[in-house]
């Protein structure tokens, strides 16, 4: 339980570390209806993450049942993801600086749209973010494969899944929770946070990619040769 829990927690932390998700959350909770849009965004993000976990559990069960060397394959996927992050990270150093949500990238388009959406749209867009892009989805699949392979029983498996969901969604749940509790008083804190994140987003992307890539490679190697 401890070993499996530590591995699931590791994948959840890596999945949660996303400047895009945090920036999108700030955009939503600083819109015209921060509480309503924030709750909708958090709900959608949770739904997307839960759906990804359900898919991951199904894939993980099949994975474990059909492939005898599933741990080797899982370590290989972890290693490949780590290498990919190391390869992508340095490119951010040469990226032109951006202000707010300006830019022509897919991420910038999402952020620009979130500033004007209503709760229903915020929920659906958050669902897509919660389900994940390639990095987040692969990490969810790896975490759920770990749960399936541990064979700890229903209660322990459910505990690990809840742990993953709670940690992987923390960058949405904490800011939204602050808005729900503090309301308009949270505006100053959130404005400072959003300003800092916008200014340092490029640097964060680089160091997160390098740091998380190194951690994933180390994780794969340790489990492969332990």
Domains in the chain: boundaries: 2-225
pLDDT at position 99 is 42
E strands of the chain, at which residues? none
Instruction: Of 76-80, 131-135, 193-197, 217-221, give the lowest mean pLDDT range.
Output: 193-197
More confident residue, 195 or 42: 42
Say what the pLDDT of residue 136 is. 93
Residues contacting residue 177 through CB under 8 Å, at least 6 positions apart: none
Instruction: State the sign of the Cα–Cα–Cα–Cα dihedral 83, 111, 31, 164.
Output: negative
Number of residues that this document lists for the chain: 226
With left for phi above 0 and alpha for psi between -120 and 50, is residue 151 left, alpha or beta?
left
What was the pLDDT predicted at 101? 42
Cα–Cα nearest to 204, from 113, 108, 97: 97
Element (H, E) at 163: helix 154-168
- Residue 99 has what DSSP assignment? -
Give pLDDT, residue 103.
Answer: 43
Q: Which helix (H) or strand (E) holds 33?
A: none
What's the predicted TM-score (pTM) here?
A: 0.80
Mean pLDDT, rounded, for 210-225? 82
Looking at residue 66, its pLDDT comes to 62
pLDDT at 113 over 70: no
Phi-psi region of 100 (alpha: psi -120 to 50; beta: other; left: phi over 0): left
Check residue 84 and give its pLDDT: 85
Helix (H) or strand (E) holding 41: helix 34-66
DSSP code for 186: G
Q: Is the pLDDT of residue 98 over 50?
A: no
**Residue 92: Cβ within 10 Å count:** 17
Tell me the C-alpha distance between 21 and 17, whole Å: 8
Q: 130-187: per-residue pLDDT in tens?
A: 998 888 999 999 899 888 877 778 888 999 999 999 999 999 999 999 888 887 677 6
pLDDT tens figures, 48-85 = 999 999 998 888 777 666 655 567 677 788 888 889 88
Highest mean predicted confidence (pLDDT) among 20-34, 119-133, 197-211: 119-133
Residue range 14-42: mean pLDDT, rounded: 87
Question: Rounded to 5, what percent of the chain is helix, strand, coil?
Answer: 85, 0, 15
Q: How many other CB atoms are found less than 10 A from the CB of residue 96?
A: 6
Residues 42/172, Cβ–Cβ less than 8 Å: yes
When the pLDDT of each residue in the chain is averaged and rounded to a whole number, the result is 80
Q: What's the DSSP call for residue 18?
A: -
């Amino acid at each position: 339980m401890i070993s499996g829990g530590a591995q699931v927690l590791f994948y959840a932390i890596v999945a949660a570390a996303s400047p895009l998700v945090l920036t999108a959350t700030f955009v939503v909770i600083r819109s015209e209806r921060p509480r309503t849009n924030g709750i909708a965004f958090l709900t959608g993000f949770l739904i997307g993450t839960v759906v990804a976990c359900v898919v991951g559990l199904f894939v993980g069960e099949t994975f474990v049942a059909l492939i005898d060397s599933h741990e080797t394959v899982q370590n290989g996927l972890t290693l490949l993801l780590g290498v990919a992050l190391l390869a992508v990270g340095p490119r951010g150093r040469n990226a032109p600086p951006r202000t707010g949500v300006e830019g022509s990238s897919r991420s910038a388009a999402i952020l620009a749209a979130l500033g004007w959406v209503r709760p229903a749209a915020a929920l659906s867009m958050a669902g897509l973010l919660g389900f994940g892009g390639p990095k987040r989805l692969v990490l969810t699949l790896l975490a759920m494969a770990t749960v399936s392979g541990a064979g700890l029983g229903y209660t322990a498996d459910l505990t690990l899944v809840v742990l993953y969901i709670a940690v992987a969604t923390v960058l949405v749940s904490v800011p939204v929770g602050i808005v729900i509790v503090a309301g308009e008083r949270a505006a100053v804190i959130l404005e400072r946070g959003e300003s800092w994140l916008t200014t340092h987003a490029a640097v964060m992307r680089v160091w997160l990619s390098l740091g998380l890539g190194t951690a994933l490679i180390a994780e794969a190697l340790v489990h492969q040769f332990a």
